[in-house]
């Protein structure tokens, strides 16, 4: 079911000159996104730029309060009260959506964008059958008839690996396990064939065995449908397992981004290196449990230079001298660190 998504909202003009050329191979593009919180009193996300290509799984990783979830919500147009996009753009296929009206967002949700979150039960109506809720989306968004919506819903349940779709269709959320509910949410999210699925900690509340199954499902959806996925997690192990590219957030900034293999084998930012040391290695051998000394800065705290410097084992005076630029250190591999910048200059 291929839908040319741009035709669904022809009245929205492409925002930037030159964006059109790249738009074809970009599902999502963030440029210098800044998000303010507490009604503009503080900046929680500072200058985030990233791209997601079709069929690519991109993982955002960072500690709680690092801004990864806020970034996600800005992409979905559902920032919590008191938060606003201060600067920068979010664009889908070359069209800026930062100042869309509610109506336009509604057209975008489903057809361009699907979303799943940590707690699937709280996004479903507890007294309606899950099948009915999926069919409703199909009828409203795609204009399907009652019968067509029903059979399409069963197909979707099957596609997300629910074993007895006909039975699940008539069940209410309380009758399903957490893993099954998350599959239902994924079925709803992909029901209108979106190009991008935003998944914010979708497996955090699940058992490891179920988590592994959901991660496999996301990979399969990517392979079969060319779905791009933006996956958010605080668990670097989950991110490396699933993603093609990893974006590391620290205190509201992207400190490193690059191909998953590069990031895990040759991390260049001291924070990424530290995260890898504390992450679950999964070899099940007894090892020293390491910690990252110190605390991350408070949300919105004003710091000149590198925001990780206070906790960094290799910090030098330069780190606090001025804003640190993100420099390329490899193929699509960027690092925001004075040491990496210096290495680039000398080479």
| Interface contacts to other proteins, rule CB under 8 A | 63-64, 161, 163, 177-178, 207-213, 215-216, 234-238, 240-241, 264, 274-276, 278-292, 295
Nearer to other proteins, 88 or 267 (CB): 267
Nearer to other proteins, 92 or 231 (CB): 231
DSSP letter string, 235-294: -HHHHHHH-SEEEEEETTEEEEEEEHHHHHHS--SHHHHHHHHHS---S----------S
Nearer to other proteins, 274 or 338 (CB): 274
Nearest to 280 by CA among 271, 272, 289, 269: 289
Q: How far is the CB of 230 from other proteins (least distance, A)?
A: 18
Nearer to other proteins, 208 or 345 (CB): 208
Q: How far is the CB of 274 from other proteins (least distance, A)?
A: 8
Distance between CA atoms of 313 and 310, rounded to whole angstroms? 9
Give the contacts of 163 (CB within 8 A, at least 6 positions apart): none
Q: How far is the CB of 117 from other proteins (least distance, A)?
A: 16
Distance between CA atoms of 127 and 319, rounded to whole angstroms? 55
Nearest to 49 by CA among 326, 337, 321, 328: 326
Q: How far is the CB of 272 from other proteins (least distance, A)?
A: 12
Q: How far is the CB of 165 from other proteins (least distance, A)?
A: 13
Distance between CA atoms of 154 and 138, rounded to whole angstroms? 12
- Angle, helix 102-111 to helix 130-142, in steps of 10 degrees: 110
Nearer to other proteins, 35 or 236 (CB): 236
Nearest to 165 by CA among 187, 196, 139, 191: 187
Distance between CA atoms of 93 and 76, rounded to whole angstroms? 15
Nearer to other proteins, 68 or 333 (CB): 68
Q: How far is the CB of 178 from other proteins (least distance, A)?
A: 7
Q: How far is the CB of 238 from other proteins (least distance, A)?
A: 4
DSSP state of 129: -
Nearer to other proteins, 104 or 213 (CB): 213
Distance between CA atoms of 222 and 228, rounded to whole angstroms? 6
Angle in degrees, CA 273, 49, 32, rounded to 5? 125
H/E stretch holding 43 reads strand 42-52
Nearer to other proteins, 67 or 110 (CB): 67
Nearer to other proteins, 17 or 208 (CB): 208
Tally the C-alpha atoms within 13 A of residue 101's C-alpha that lie toward its C-beta.
5
Distance between CA atoms of 333 and 329, rounded to whole angstroms? 6
Angle in degrees, CA 250, 295, 337, rounded to 5? 40
Q: How far is the CB of 237 from other proteins (least distance, A)?
A: 4
Q: How far is the CB of 347 from other proteins (least distance, A)?
A: 28
């Amino acid at each position: 079911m291929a839908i040319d998504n741009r035709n669904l909202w022809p009245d929205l003009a492409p925002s930037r000159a030159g964006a059109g050329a790249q738009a074809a191979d970009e599902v999502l593009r963030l440029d210098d996104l800044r998000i303010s919180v507490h009604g503009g009193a503080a900046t929680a996300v500072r200058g985030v730029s990233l791209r997601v290509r079709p069929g690519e799984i991109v993982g955002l990783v960072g500690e709680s309060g690092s801004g990864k979830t806020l970034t996600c919500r800005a992409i979905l147009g559902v920032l919590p009260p008191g938060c606003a996009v201060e600067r920068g753009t979010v664009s889908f296929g070359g069209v800026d959506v930062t100042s869309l009206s509610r109506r336009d967002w509604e057209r975008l949700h489903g057809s361009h964008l699907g979303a799943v979150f940590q707690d699937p039960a709280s996004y479903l109506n507890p007294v309606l059958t899950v099948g009915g809720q999926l069919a409703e989306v199909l009828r409203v968004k795609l204009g399907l008839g009652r019968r067509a919506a029903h059979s399409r819903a069963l197909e979707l349940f099957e596609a997300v690996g629910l074993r007895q779709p006909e039975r699940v269709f008539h069940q209410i959320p309380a009758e399903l396990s957490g893993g099954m509910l998350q599959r239902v949410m994924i079925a709803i999210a992909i029901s209108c064939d979106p190009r991008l699925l935003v998944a914010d900690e979708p497996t955090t509340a699940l058992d490891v065995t179920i988590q592994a199954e959901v991660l496999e499902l996301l990979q399969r959806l990517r392979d079969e449908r060319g779905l791009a996925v933006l996956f958010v997690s605080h668990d670097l192990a989950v991110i490396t397992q699933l993603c093609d590219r990893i974006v590391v957030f620290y205190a509201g900034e992207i400190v490193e981004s690059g191909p998953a293999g590069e990031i895990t084998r040759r991390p260049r930012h001291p924070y990424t290196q530290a995260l890898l040391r504390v992450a679950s290695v999964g070899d099940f051998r007894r090892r020293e449990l390491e910690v990252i000394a110190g605390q991350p800065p408070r949300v919105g705290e004003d710091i000149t230079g590198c925001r990780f410097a206070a906790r960094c084992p290799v910090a030098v005076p330069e780190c606090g001298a001025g804003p640190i630029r993100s420099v390329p250190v490899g193929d699509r591999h960027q690092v925001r660190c004075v040491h990496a910048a210096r290495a680039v200059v000398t080479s």
